């Protein structure tokens, strides 16, 4: 099968089940595609490990004990800890680190039968919007290698877009699944906070971090999201005690009469004309499919930037205190005493953006500033969540842009971190509210770069979001287009 690497997750699973191909053949093809590490998407590959998993899959396929995704390749963002691959979170401080266990998400996808191809590049500790904050170099966008793939799950998005893997995991704290999916022309979903276990996901901002799948279509995302979700209450204190769900089962619903809320704040001045044009025509397509567009307002949208960039660094400053050179990872060589060892280890191990966040976080939590910044931000966070509940009285799902522009040029914001923060404006509100959100290809903008549409649902409405996206993907072919030279 010469087109193996272009097959969807669904088609690969079927070909494997019907024995048209073996898991070893599939793994061999995808491993070959990762040779030379295109787009700098991978941080660790170990073909022996991958082939051993593929052989085990073939045995299960032969004995009739196969999981639903048996033999289908996947790669994991490098913030998920893995026993068989190095885990760095894109940071020098964890260079060469091997975890004694697998993250729950990794374990559950393996139980579903998926074969791990390797670990994917990302912004250091998932802090970034362009994947330029990785200590192991930037990732390039398969649609134009002079541009960023988005971040922080940039390696995941680039690998799926370049057909190096049919699907990948990502994490989304403030947009890191949705925005790179948008920039690379693929589909990604972040479930409701608490549905996917955070156990073994290296913490950035614990009250926001969520895992989710990135693949080419909503149909493929549903196949991965089903095993990824489900309770893990003994190991993750914020895991919801809610039974798992088969998200593929609901991909046949009509969207006749579906009320799609269009927030006016998402279509204001800051939105580039090419992105607006692509979204307008995608929204018209939804009308043709029977949906109704309803004007809504999310008045605090703008405040989500200062609120998020207070809360996320505050939590990060606490979470990252564990990287002290004592328990794991890098330790400075020359030091005079314990405190000096801490200082030198962290000075050497962390990159600039991580240091910036730790300093911001420590500042907003400090005595005298806590009330003015952190507490205030928490109050506004609640108001942002309330605004969504008001909006959902008028509509079933919310649609809008993922980002104000298509992928920007590598290095464009190198001296202006705030420019990257501002570009997160449309993804942050759903994150702060803990709502599920997704991005799906909705057209092309300037320089023929992909434009994603964001869909936000109410709590636990992942199935409805995926079905809404699936309907558009049945009517359009944006998700099937591929970068040149694939």
- Kindly list the residues in this chain that would bind ligand GLN in the complex (CB under 6 A): 126-129, 152, 172-176, 204, 312, 424
Shortest separation between residue 59's beta carbon and ligand GLN, angstroms: 37
Pick left, alpha or beta for residue 301 (phi over 0 → left; psi -120 to 50 → alpha; otherwise beta): alpha
Distance CA 208, CA 15 (A): 37
CB of 211 to ligand GLN, least distance (A): 11
Q: Is 176 marked active-site? A: yes
DSSP state of 255: -
Range list of H helices, 18-141: 23-33, 47-63, 104-111
Give yes or no for a cis peptide into 306 (omega within 30° of 0): no
Nearer of residues 203 and 291 to ligand GLN, judged by Cβ: 203
- Other CB atoms within 10 A of residue 90 CB: 33
Provide the minimum distance between the beta carbon of 222 and ligand GLN in the complex, in angstroms, as a whole number: 22
Q: What angle do CA 158, 225, 392 make, to 5 degrees?
A: 100
Q: Which distant-in-sequence residues (6+ apart) come within 8 Å of 185 by Cβ?
A: 143, 161, 441, 450, 452, 478, 479, 481, 483
> Would you call 443 helix, strand, or coil by DSSP?
strand
- Please say which residue, 175 or 452, places its beta carbon nearer to ligand GLN: 175
Give yes or no: 129 in active site. no
Residues 6+ apart with CB under 8 A from 339: none
Please say which residue, 127 or 455, places its beta carbon nearer to ligand GLN: 127
- Cβ at position 195, least distance to ligand GLN in Å: 16
CA atoms within 13 A on the CB side of 158: 33
How far, rounded to the nearest angstrom, does the alpha carbon of residue 297 sit from its chain's CA centroid? Answer: 26
**Which position among 8, 57, 176, 182 bears the catalytic label?**
176
Quick check: is 156 catalytic?
Answer: no
Q: Residues 129, 152, 197, 226: which is the catalytic one? A: 152
Count the alpha carbons within 13 Å of 326 in the hemisphere toward its beta carbon.
11
Beta strands at 210-215 and 187-190: parallel, antiparallel or unpaired: antiparallel
Catalytic annotation, pick one of 15, 22, 57, 77: 77
Pick 128 or 263: Cβ nearer ligand GLN = 128
In terms of CB distance, is 22 or 171 closer to ligand GLN? Answer: 171
The sign of the torsion formed by the CA atoms of 184, 190, 196, 202 equals: positive
Residues annotated as catalytic are 77, 152, 176
């Amino acid at each position: 099968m010469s087109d193996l690497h272009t097959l969807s997750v669904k088609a690969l699973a079927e070909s494997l089940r019907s024995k048209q191909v073996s898991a070893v053949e599939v793994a061999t093809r995808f491993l070959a595609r990762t040779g030379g590490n295109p787009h700098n998407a991978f941080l660790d590959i170990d073909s022996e490990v991958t082939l051993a998993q593929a052989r085990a899959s073939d045995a299960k396929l032969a004995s009739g004990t196969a999981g639903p995704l048996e033999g289908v390749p996947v790669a994991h963002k490098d913030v998920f800890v893995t026993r068989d691959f190095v885990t760095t979170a894109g940071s020098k401080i964890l260079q060469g680190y091997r975890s004694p266990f697998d993250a729950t998400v990794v374990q559950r996808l393996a139980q579903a039968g998926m074969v791990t191809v390797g670990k994917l590049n990302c912004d250091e500790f998932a802090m970034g919007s362009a994947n330029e904050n990785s200590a192991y170099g930037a990732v390039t966008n398969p649609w134009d290698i002079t541009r960023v793939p988005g971040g922080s799950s940039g390696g995941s998005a680039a690998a799926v877009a370049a057909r190096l893997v049919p699907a990948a995991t990502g994490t989304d704290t403030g947009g890191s699944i949705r925005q790179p999916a948008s920039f690379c022309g693929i589909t990604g979903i972040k479930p409701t906070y608490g549905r996917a276990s955070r156990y073994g996901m290296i913490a950035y901002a614990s009250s926001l971090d969520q895992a989710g799948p990135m693949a080419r279509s909503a149909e493929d995302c549903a196949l991965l999201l089903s095993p990824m979700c489900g309770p893990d209450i003994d190991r993750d204190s914020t895991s919801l005690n809610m039974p798992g769900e088969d998200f593929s089962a609901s991909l046949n619903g009509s969207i006749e009469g579906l009320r799609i809320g269009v927030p006016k704040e998402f279509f204001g001045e800051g939105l580039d004309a090419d992105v607006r044009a692509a979204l307008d025509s995608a929204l018209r397509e939804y009308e043709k499919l029977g949906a109704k567009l309803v004007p809504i307002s999310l008045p605090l949208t703008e405040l989500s930037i200062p609120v998020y960039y207070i809360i996320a660094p505050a939590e990060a400053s606490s979470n990252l205190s564990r990287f002290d050179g004592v328990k794991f990872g890098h330790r400075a060589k020359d030091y005079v005493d314990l405190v000096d060892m801490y200082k030198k280890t962290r000075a050497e191990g962390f990159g600039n953006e991580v240091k910036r966040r730790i300093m911001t976080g420590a500042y907003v939590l400090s005595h005298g500033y806590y009330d003015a910044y952190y507490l205030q931000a928490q109050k506004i966070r609640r108001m942002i969540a309330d605004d969504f509940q008001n909006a959902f009285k008028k509509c079933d799902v919310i649609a809008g842009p993922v980002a104000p522009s298509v992928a920007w040029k590598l290095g464009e914001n190198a001296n202006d971190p705030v420019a990257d923060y501002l570009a997160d404006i449309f993804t942050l509100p759903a994150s702060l509210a803990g709502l599920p959100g997704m991005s799906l290809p909705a057209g092309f903008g300037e320089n023929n770069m992909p434009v994603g549409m964001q869909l936000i649902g109410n709590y636990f409405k992942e199935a409805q979001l995926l079905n809404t996206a699936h309907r558009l993907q049945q009517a359009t072919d944006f998700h099937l287009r591929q970068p040149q030279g694939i």
